[in-house]
Amino acid sequence: MLREFSLADLITLGNASCGTASIFLALSYASEHEVGYLWVSFALLPVALILDFFDGYVARWRRAQSMLGPDLDSLSDIVSFGVAPAVLAWALGMRGGLDMAVLIFFVACGISRLARYNATAAELTEETSGKVKYYEGTPIPTSIVLVIVLVIAFSQGAVGANFWFGSVEILGMGWHPLSTMYFLSGCAMISGTLKIPKP
């Protein structure tokens, strides 16, 4: 099977590898409280983002997009920009019942958004350029903004019990209002009216 992978596919797998490593390191931080794990976990996601941008350019440059390419890209993005940001939020203290419901919603929205893109990409592609004209909903890599917010919060010691806006309990379940940013990001990803021109 490895023989079927193009250079772009291998770069895409690098994206997925960065996301997976980020998840493992975030979980290690949650159990061992070793700050170094967390910083590396944070740092791997911008690397994943660079690889995500780069794989498309390589495929076009080599004019060799494989049959597996689009699905590999989507599955890798789910790991790096869906699951990893959610796990980071959990590792930093968004562990209340409602927090986890919001984080699960966010990941589900990311999966749904990528499934919709894969299903509709052909009809949204321009015949002249061969490119998709626009994105429906925000692309899942925009979740890197959420990670940046977490980095700032962590650098200021505003995590766990000290998250900005504090925490509340609703129906016996904990909720950090800051987790609302994940809810809004999820809603933006699955929006059918929000159309963003594709560069």
CA-CA distance, 93 to 154, in Å (whole number)? Answer: 11
CA angle 70, 117, 26 (to 5 degrees): 75
Residue 59: which CATH number? 1.20.120
User: Which tens digit of pLDDT belongs to each residue from 98-125?
Assistant: 999 999 999 999 999 999 988 887 666 6
Question: What is the count of structural domains for the chain?
Answer: 1
Q: Supply 93's token pair.
A: 């203290």
User: Which tens digit of pLDDT belongs to each residue from 27-58?
Assistant: 999 999 999 999 999 999 999 999 999 877 77
Asked if residues 149 and 68 have their Cβ atoms less than 8 Å apart, the reply is no
53 is in which domain, residue-wise? 2-197
User: Which tens digit of pLDDT belongs to each residue from 135-186?
Assistant: 789 999 999 999 999 999 999 999 998 999 999 999 889 999 999 999 999 9
N-term to C-term CA, the chain: 32
Kindly write down the DSSP assignment for every residue of 37-78, as one continuous string. HHHHHHHHHHHHHHHHHHHHHHHHHHT---TTHHHHHHHHHI
